[in-house]
């Protein structure tokens, strides 16, 4: 079920009631969370509850087995087996048809007949997120970062916790799992933060993200209009994906907060980044840190010299792109960012521009970063090689469609609230800057956002973009 739906509001209201009723029992709370989270997930398709359960049970078992094994070779083999099984499941559901079709095309071009057949495989919602989260448990036990949890229900709750189940943030075991094993305290501050994040997150998704989505559709097709429209359309997509995803992440953190949980921030004003490295420290933080800790470092990180570090960065981003979807444009997007990061390493060294750097240098860095990031969004959103080529070629087309003025106006209307809020947060160096307002001012702001949500809460629900990953 979608966060921005009537059924979820009813679900959460009922959950809160039961949550209050079980306040005296940790065990009951975690059972409630598991039951509710499975109901939440099963509402989309109950047939994949088994997969969620299997994934959780498998990694929980692997954690215990790893703790029992002593021989490094055996432990390594078990970890490798665990990775194989997890990625095998992910690979089957997400990438089978992609690779089968791509192989067939490749062999076809070489003149070699090749046919594997495609399967009508449904992609389970959230599989990329909960698989990575569950896998990280085995990794952390293997590395000795934590002891395997004895309580299976707690582990089930950790993996399936509904605020973050279908679109992250991908939680670290050491950060979230202990919260299921202790009494939580819900303070007034947490409540304030949670309520703010739920309202702001919902506003970003419902008002901004969903409203600019049709603008993106007007531009991203096989016969795109001229340069100005493609540029604005790409900006619109950058706005859409950011508001959609960060809105969801804020909602997830807000929901968790009011329950007493602390889940990680997933975004930190990414469009203020003045370098690509900084961008990736601010965008989809849970994924980028996961890839850094479990892939980049496993490949050797920067321990084998700068040249190897560049290769590792590129490979990590390439696979990070593939994680987003079974299509070559996502791989291209990953490669684009990988190449950008490598180029940044080569030309700027390992150090980012210091905060004391001249404003001109920081502005130049910001401009260059945004050009790379937004052209990357063009690659990300295009549905085929043909579209990538058509959109890129259209950047040299000076013509403009008659609706360009209305397009720019509409985009500006929805961009202004986001820009205003984020400039405020950036200058205050505080993502929760609105909480510093006087009570009446904060109520006015939240009320205005609620009115906006009411007005743009359309009957036809647009899904969250990251549900498809």
Partner 1 sequence: MKSHAVEFTPRELLRLVVPPLVPVVLFTLVMQTGARFGLLPAPRPALDADRAIIVHQAESSRARSDAEVVLLGDSSCLMDVNARQLGEALGQRALNLGTISYLDLGAHARLLREFTQANPGHPRVVVLLMNPAALRHPGSEPYPLAVLTHFLAGNDHHRLDTFAGRFNAFSGVDAFQSRLQSRALPTPFTDSFGRFYGFTTGLERFMSEHNGSAVDPGTNAAKGNAEYRLSPTLETLSREFRAAVPAGTKLLIGITPVPAKFSGPNYPALRNQMLRDWSVWLQADAALLELPATLLDEQMAGATHLKPAAIPAYTESLAAAVRTHMK
Binding site for partner 1 (CB under 8 A): 6, 19, 22-29, 182-188, 191-192, 195, 199, 214-215, 217-218, 221, 223, 225, 259-260, 401-403, 406-407, 409-410, 413, 439-440, 442-444, 446-448, 450-451, 454-455, 457, 459
Rounded to the nearest 5 degrees, what angle is found at the Cα of 39, between the Cα atoms of 33 and 45?
140
Q: Which tokens hold the place of 182? A: 């202790």
Q: How far is the CB of 217 from partner 1 (least distance, A)?
A: 5
- Shorter beta-carbon distance to partner 1: residue 71 or 438: 438
Please tell me which residue in 164, 284, 324, 337 is annotated as part of the active site: 324
* CB nearer partner 1, residue 91 or residue 401: 401
Question: CA-CA distance, 73 to 194, in Å (whole number)?
Answer: 46
Distance (Å, whole) CA 271 – CA 282: 8
| 145 is an active site residue | no
Cα dihedral 424/430/435/441 (nearest 10): -10
Of 24 and 113, which CB lies nearer to partner 1 in the complex structure? 24
Q: Which of 71/185 has CB closer to partner 1?
A: 185
Give the separation between CA 334 and CA 315, rounded to whole angstroms. 9
Tell me 111's DSSP state: T
Q: How far is the CB of 37 from partner 1 (least distance, A)?
A: 15
The closest of 222, 220, 223, 240 to 231, measured between CA atoms, is: 220
- Of 55, 54, 19, nearest to 35 by C-alpha is 19
Tokens of 319: 């696979």
Which whole-number Å values give the CA distances from 32 to 22, 125, 151, 274, in the listed order? 8, 22, 15, 44
- 175 or 187: whose CB is closer to partner 1? 187
Q: Which is nearer to partner 1, 88 or 214 (CB)?
A: 214
Concatenated DSSP letters of 319-388: HHHHHH-SSHHHHHHHHHHHHHHHHHHHHHTTPPPPTTS-HHHHHHHHHHHHHHHHHHHHHHH-SSHHHH
Q: How far is the CB of 364 from partner 1 (least distance, A)?
A: 34
- Residue 327 C-beta: closest distance to partner 1, Å: 21
The least distance separating partner 1 from the CB of residue 259, rounded to whole angstroms, comes to 8
Smallest distance from partner 1 to CB 120, Å: 23
147: exposed, middle or buried (Cβ count in 10 Å: 0-12, 13-18, 19+): exposed
What is the set of active-site residues? 324
């Amino acid at each position: 079920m979608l966060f921005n739906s009537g059924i979820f509001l009813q679900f959460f209201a009922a959950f809160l009631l039961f949550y209050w009723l079980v306040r005296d029992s940790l065990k009951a709370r975690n059972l409630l969370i598991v039951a509710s989270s499975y109901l939440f997930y099963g509402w989309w398709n109950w047939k994949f509850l088994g997969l969620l359960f299997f994934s959780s049970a498998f990694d929980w078992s692997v954690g215990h087995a790893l703790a029992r094994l002593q021989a490094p070779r055996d432990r390594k083999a078990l970890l490798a087996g665990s990775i194989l099984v997890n990625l095998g499941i992910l690979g089957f559901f997400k990438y089978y048809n992609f690779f089968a079709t791509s192989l067939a095309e490749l062999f076809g071009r070489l003149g070699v007949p090749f046919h594997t057949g495609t399967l009508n495989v449904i992609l389970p919602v959230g599989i990329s997120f909960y698989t990575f989260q569950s896998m990280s448990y085995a990794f952390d036990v293997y590395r000795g970062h934590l002891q395997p949890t004895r309580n299976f229900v707690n582990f089930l709750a950790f993996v399936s916790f509904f605020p973050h189940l279908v679109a992250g943030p991908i939680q670290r075991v050491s950060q979230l799992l202990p919260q299921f094993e202790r009494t939580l305290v819900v303070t007034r501050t947490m409540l304030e933060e949670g309520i703010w994040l739920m309202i702001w997150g919902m506003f970003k998704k419902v008002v901004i993200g969903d409203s600019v989505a049709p603008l993106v559709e007007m531009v991203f097709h096989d016969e795109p209009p001229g340069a100005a429209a493609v540029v604005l359309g790409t900006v619109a997509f950058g706005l859409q994906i950011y508001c959609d995803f960060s809105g969801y992440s804020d909602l997830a953190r807000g929901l968790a907060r009011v329950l007493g949980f602390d889940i990680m921030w997933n975004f930190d004003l990414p469009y203020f980044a003045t370098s690509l490295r900084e961008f990736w420290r601010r965008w989809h933080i849970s994924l980028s840190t996961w890839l850094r800790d479990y892939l980049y470092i496993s490949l050797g990180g920067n321990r084998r010299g700068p040249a190897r570090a560049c290769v590792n960065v590129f490979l990590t981003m390439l696979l990070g792109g593939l994680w987003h979807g079974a299509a070559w444009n996502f791989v291209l997007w990953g490669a684009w960012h990988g190449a950008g990061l490598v180029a940044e390493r080569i030309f700027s060294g390992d150090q980012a521009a210091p905060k004391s750097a001249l404003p001109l240098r920081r502005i130049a860095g910001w401009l260059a970063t945004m050009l790379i990031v937004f052209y990357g969004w063009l690659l990300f959103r295009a549905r085929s090689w043909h579209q990538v080529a058509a959109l890129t070629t259209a950047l040299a087309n000076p013509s403009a469609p008659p609706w360009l003025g209305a397009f720019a106006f509409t985009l500006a209307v929805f961009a202004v609230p986001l820009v205003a809020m984020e400039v405020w947060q950036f200058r205050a160096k505080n993502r929760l800057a609105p909480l510093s307002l006087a009570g009446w001012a904060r109520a006015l702001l939240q009320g205005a956002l609620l009115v906006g949500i009411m007005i743009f809460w359309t009957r036809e629900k647009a899904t969250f973009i990251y549900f498809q990953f």
